[in-house]
Amino acid sequence: MTDWNTRTKLVHTGTRRSQYGEMAEAMFLTQGFAYDSAEQAEARFVDCGDDEFIYARYGNPTTRMFEERIAAIEGTEDAFATASGMAAVNGALFSFLRPGDHVVAARALFGSCLYVLELLAKFGVEVTLIDGLDLGAWRGAVREGTRAVFLESVSNPTLEVIDIAAVAGIAHAVGALVVVDNVFATPVFSRAVALGADVVVYSATKHIDGGGRALGGVICGTRAFIRGVAEPYLKHTGAAMSPFNAWIMLSGMQTLDLRVRAQAANAQALAEALQGHPKLARVIFPGLPGHPQHETAMAQMGSGGTIVTFDLAGGRDAAFRFLNALEIVKISNNLGDAKSIATHPATTTHQRLPDDQKALLGITPGLIRLSLGIEDGGDLIADVMAALDAA
């Protein structure tokens, strides 16, 4: 099975068939499992086998199919599916860290990830936030007693690409665990584990579902981490993914590679078309040779990804005129969807941040984050260009 390529794994890995031999992945919408005998129930609570289940908060056959499939794609021994991406981030960090531990994290984080780090600090974990692009800052911040480093491999919304291999080298030198939120890189372009990540976290809500239907998340890592560290915390605190959502994610995964590659091609074409546009102060896309971490992006993803960010020189008013003139691209705040989505981070996803922090993170009033869908690339470019004319 390990010599299958990604597309084959995305369609077949992890499938468990019932006695009926159903072709599609079955949805086991059940919280409990009947035992043949009291002895069997007892035995299962003592040592639950890989193909045995007790309670859906601990595991479920449909959820397990999803976990096995994503672990196979990511190249980790195991995975644990969670109710949302944030449950995965929270679970990966809270299950592992103790009061007195030290964590170093890249500052350019999704707002809710920052909130989780603030919570850790409240519970006695020392958190140091640094500029993730500055390897000197990583070297200066880690020390004996640093138990984990945490980073978004490609930051939201300004698409800074952190050198996972370099950071992992620095972290591993002091024995710290490398935890990567890899949503923007997508499981298709991820080489995080090969580059040294120990734990990789996804919001499955994004590209994995790909249809903007269900919330989900997943933690990928070694069997020892997933079953020994993450699972005990997650199964007792109730972060489990619903079997219904796992079933949606399984169907999403079948087309994940096709969709993400089409989205990335649309992103590359749009970014190239936008370069030098008179209404834009900057175009940010790791696939453009002018992006400051272009080479890192190519080395660790082989792609610029599926998101393009750009800054309208006319500020907030121009950004709003642009958004309101779009016809195909929807105004929303998900990403990775088959439908193209434009977001104005300063007034929505990052509204909570004080102005000085927005400025520090490059979230200017004219900034638009555009998640490319799978629509026709020519239609999308025409839609964006017409909206820029209107801005």
Ligand X SMILES: *Cc1c(COP(=O)(O)O)cnc(C)c1O
Report the interface residues with ligand X, using CB under 6 A: 84-86, 89, 110, 112-113, 152, 156, 181, 183, 203, 205-206, 215, 217
Cβ atoms 268, 298 nearer than 8 A:
no
Min separation Cβ 89 and ligand X, Å? 6
Cβ atoms 374, 337 nearer than 8 A:
no
Min separation Cβ 220 and ligand X, Å? 14
Tokens of 205: 């809500």
Tell me the pairing of strands 341-343 and 78-82: unpaired
Give CA torsion, residues 163, 169, 170, 175, to 10 deg. Answer: 130
62 vs 156, beta carbon nearer ligand X: 156
26 vs 300, beta carbon nearer ligand X: 300
128 vs 343, beta carbon nearer ligand X: 343
Any bridge partners for residue 203, and if so which? 217
Min separation Cβ 335 and ligand X, Å? 6
DSSP 239-280: -BPPHHHHHHHHHHHHTHHHHHHHHHHHHHHHHHHHTT-TTE
147 vs 207, beta carbon nearer ligand X: 207
84 vs 364, beta carbon nearer ligand X: 84
Tell me the pairing of strands 102-106 and 146-152: parallel
Closest to 266 (Cα-Cα) out of 375, 356, 187, 350: 375
128 vs 306, beta carbon nearer ligand X: 306
CA 97 to chain centre: 21
Packing angle between helix 315-325 and helix 377-390, nearest 10 degrees? 130
Min separation Cβ 82 and ligand X, Å? 9
Cβ atoms 67, 215 nearer than 8 A:
no
222 vs 334, beta carbon nearer ligand X: 334
Cβ atoms 333, 370 nearer than 8 A:
no
Min separation Cβ 342 and ligand X, Å? 15
Min separation Cβ 81 and ligand X, Å? 12
Q: Give residue number: closest CB to ligand X.
A: 85
Min separation Cβ 63 and ligand X, Å? 16
